[in-house]
Structure 1
């Protein structure tokens, strides 16, 4: 028996399907990540740097052309620093309520004017406790109905956004009423709560009086701080970081584990390429293979399986001795052997097919019977003159 070490080309051909499947899955995952990332980063509502339809870059650019200094901030610290530098109007859009009440009060105090887009429950409770949310508003147009200068300058605005209600004892001014007691703009002292958020978007700013409304609200001072809080601003702040909470021994242990893993990988890892440098044949004796298989059959008590292996070899040799084609059936082989040896066909069939050994003694007996049958067939087919003496 000859076994050859598979070459790299053969091994690659065998694994070609799995290689292609793996590459395909990696490509699908990469495309999905790119699409999802593009979808997440495609539009940022209220962003002064986003030119997409949902962004608000058009408003910021027009304010700059009108002489207003627009400072875009993304952290609470930068916002406080910008407010301390100049008297400024602060524009805040925090739809996810990332800022706590304490942080809202910290940035509202130094601002000359505060404009909040789409105020949430947390923002209303902290800065305007006499104002409550009133759900969504989806009217196409809202007419000016109060004395607030920005509203009078607009005339009418797009009503899409959220509504606000005033407590009966509130002294705030409600404007742009969409239904009884529901307003899309509320002004309380230096704080303006803007529920008509569609007026801030690039796609709606040029409709009706939207531009006049937002430009008047945000251009009240020479400096405007445009603040969109991020996840870094969430929480109370001042707490320990993950690095501070991590015990000092974690770092060295992680380094030791990484070194151990690399060492184990080098020690136990498989080599690339064939185990044998040259493609040399390895010769194994047939007797060793036979004995190995016999031990496996014996250990598993697979007597019938072992006998079947012997029967298959016997049938093949009998068919060749009788001159039958390779496609001959077992029945045809039985009939041919029965005609040659003058033995009953049912006895030969019982030996080649039907009889099952129940113990090792039966297996040995049937194996000997197979040898005897094959020997008898060969003897019957051998001419008398060519037979060895004694037969």
Structure 2
């Protein structure tokens, strides 16, 4: 009678897959939620069209209410030419100067435009000016002007922090504890360096004097050279003009975190479903065989076929294998050398030793027994 092998039923398969599917679903849900949270947090940062807290739509509206158009540009060439005739009334706001190649920044700094740079590092500042250099960092808190610059005095207390800067005392002025600095570009135009995005965002623009300071930084209300247009240079990672962007710069910010979570989830599933080796289990043997059983069995076979010669050869070979290494006569010695060395070691005559080790085979079982006893005595004498 033969049986038919059957696979697991649909119910059994569902029970097996339920836990892995639930775990994978939880990991996927957490990844999506975190990704959405991060995308909502970072989307539109300093974007003049974005209405989320980190965007700058409110500042754009204030500028346009004062008849100052705002044009968003994506690269240095657009920031330098087009739109309005080149004059000192053009303002270039560089939202993320550290993402822009040095040559592009240098081309912007060589114009007579007013340039507003947000949190530039040392390399970006060197491309724009010789007047200002980074000096450290500070938390974003409410700060007092600490300088006599009219825009800062008018704005009063504002939310500033981030990078701090030091300036040449003859050509630049430092306000708000180094987080807001006035200077000149390489082209001779006004330069404003802001250490943080805080006063430019929708979230903080309406607080304290942030709006007044942001408008003043962009040239609104300037009696000498009022702003006639703001070119808002917003270059995102991976866009043209952003320099050498790596793979992580191009990917959304939540992708690396999602990949890590998927790896952790896969590792947990592997631990849960992987084969485990338990402790060693001692099983009783079905048959216990004595160590001498094979020797006795071979002896009975020799006796049954009356192979006394084969038995004697086996006994002599065993004796030689145990005695020769102890007498120190080298590898594969000649029989004469073996007999002489063993006789000298055992204290027996050489003819007797030669007969025991290399003599004729015994003629019957009794002679085989006597040979075995004699070999045993010779071995004990040679090995003592």
Q: Deviations over 1:121-177 (max 9, x none)?
A: 1111211233221222345221362235x324313322333321124xx53321424
Equivalent in the alignment of 1:226: 232
- 2:144 is the alignment partner of 1:142: yes
Runs (5+) with no aligned partner, structure 2: 85-89, 221-225, 246-282, 295-384
Distance 1:81 1:89 in 2: 12
Give aligned pairs, total: 236
Give the conservation status (yes or no) of the 8 Å contact 1:104–1:123: yes
Match of 1:3, SS state, is: coil
Corresponding residue to 2:243 among 235, 244, 251 = 235
Post-superposition offset of 1:11: 3.5
Equivalent in the alignment of 1:217: 217
Match of 2:38, SS state, is: helix
Distance 1:19 1:61 in 2: 55
Give the conservation status (yes or no) of the 8 Å contact 2:132–2:172: no
Relative to 1, partners in 2 of residues 1:3 and 1:354: Cα closer, same or farther, differing over 3 Å? closer
Q: Deviations over 1:233-279 (max 9, x none)?
A: 34379xxxxxxxxxxxxxxxxxxxxxxxxxxxxxxxxxxxxxxxxxx
Larger Rg: 2
- 2:64 is the alignment partner of 1:58: no
Q: Deviations over 1:211-231 (max 9, x none)?
A: 011122224423222222222
Give the conservation status (yes or no) of the 8 Å contact 1:68–1:222: yes
Equivalent in the alignment of 1:40: 38
Relative to 1, partners in 2 of residues 1:15 and 1:235: Cα closer, same or farther, differing over 3 Å? same
Give the conservation status (yes or no) of the 8 Å contact 2:131–2:172: no
131-140 or 114-123, which deviates more? 131-140
Relative to 1, partners in 2 of residues 1:92 and 1:50: Cα closer, same or farther, differing over 3 Å? same
Distance 2:152 2:286 in 1: 102
Post-superposition offset of 1:193: 1.0
RMSD, matched Cα: 3.3
Match of 1:164, SS state, is: strand
Equivalent in the alignment of 2:206: 206
TM-score normalised over the length of structure 1: 0.52
Distance 1:18 1:84 in 2: 66
Q: Deviations over 1:56-103 (max 9, x none)?
A: 222122223333222223x32xx52354212431111226x2222212
Runs (5+) with no aligned partner, structure 1: 238-304, 309-352, 363-391
Post-superposition offset of 1:184: 2.4
